[in-house]
Amino acid sequence: MAGSDIPMEELLGYLEVLANESLALWDIPGGAVARLINVSENATYLVEGPGWKSVLRVHREDYHTQRAIECELAWSTALREEGDLITPDYLVGRNGSPIQSGIVDGLPRPRYMVMFEFVEGTQPDESHDLVKAFEELGEIAARTHLHSIGWQRPEPFERLSWNLDTVFGANATWGNWRDAPNVTAGVRDVLERVEQTVTRRLRAFGSEPQRYGLIHADMRLANLLVDGNGTRLIDFDDCGFGWYLYDFATGISFMEDHELVPALKESWVRGYRKARALPDEDADELDTFVMLRRLALLAWIGSHIEAPEPQALAPDFARVSAELGTVYLERFA
């Protein structure tokens, strides 16, 4: 949970106090308790009480402004109301605002918080039919992109961007991949050439409106919940401006070396084309977006190494990235 100098265990203690003391900001049953279920950019809590469940997101410090969070909620709501997609609703606080703010002793500054409805469902994983799941994921991606293109965004509209500058630039959102654990000289040599190739190809690919716009930017299977009523797309915290095909790359985050990836890519493209045209020349560039995302994730591991997930990924991620990069360079360099 980058952005704080407080040791992780100590920080999570403060945030748990904040989460539980803040429940009174919403009209939820007395006796409800917030329990940590995930920590990454933000800390996410399951809130349970008598006959009640909801999900509380405590935002990371200095990642999004209040206006940026408002814009996230606006798009998620518009997708649900206009885009024929199922997204979780948020709960308005007692003061009429969906975004609350709070602080407790030990935290240097207040944290933004949003309470979401609890969504029933299971996350597809490797025990499911991933090829089938990716066909649905591709169609969902295409529908979000169609909505993005036609939606009249509220102004001012403030969200992150996921482009060459914010991944590779001097002030990259997640830092410099070269600073990640286990980036040896050999790994760095390969990945330097990967960055150069990705940069060259995406500059040629261009950022015209049919290829670049508002995207979910974290469309992993972990952010889908499936039940008898359909598939819900959750967690719009990273939504922002980027290439539409970046959403495929986010879909295979942390599993880019899985043997099924070629089949998943084919399935995703098939699903995407059910809702929106995808020229072959665009689909042929999907591997470039995979490497862009992989280097972004390598940087993310380095800048978030105090959190459990990056720590678990760190031992092999750089080495496997270079292996993937070698295969990529053989085709695209």
Q: What is the DSSP string of 217-283?
A: S---GGGEEEETTEEEE---TT-EEEETTHHHHHHTTT-TT-TTHHHHHHHHHHHHTTTS---HHHH
Residue-level pLDDT at 75: 98
Residue-level pLDDT at 323: 98
Q: What is the pTM of this model?
A: 0.94
Residue-level pLDDT at 225: 86
* pLDDT tens string 209-230: 999 999 999 998 888 888 777 7
Residue-level pLDDT at 126: 66
Residue-level pLDDT at 201: 98
Residue-level pLDDT at 4: 61
Which class does domain 8-117 fall in?
A: alpha beta
Residue-level pLDDT at 232: 84
DSSP state of 153: -
Residue-level pLDDT at 227: 78
Residue-level pLDDT at 307: 87
| H-helix or E-strand spanning residue 193 | helix 185-205
Classify domain 130-332 at the CATH topology level: Aminoglycoside 3'-phosphotransferase; Chain: A, domain 2 (3.90.1200)
Domain ranges of the chain: 8-117, 130-332
Residue-level pLDDT at 83: 78
Distance CA 100, CA 158 (A): 18
- Cα 318 to the center of its chain, rounded Å: 20
Which regions in the chain score pLDDT beneath 70? 1-4, 126-127
Residue-level pLDDT at 222: 82
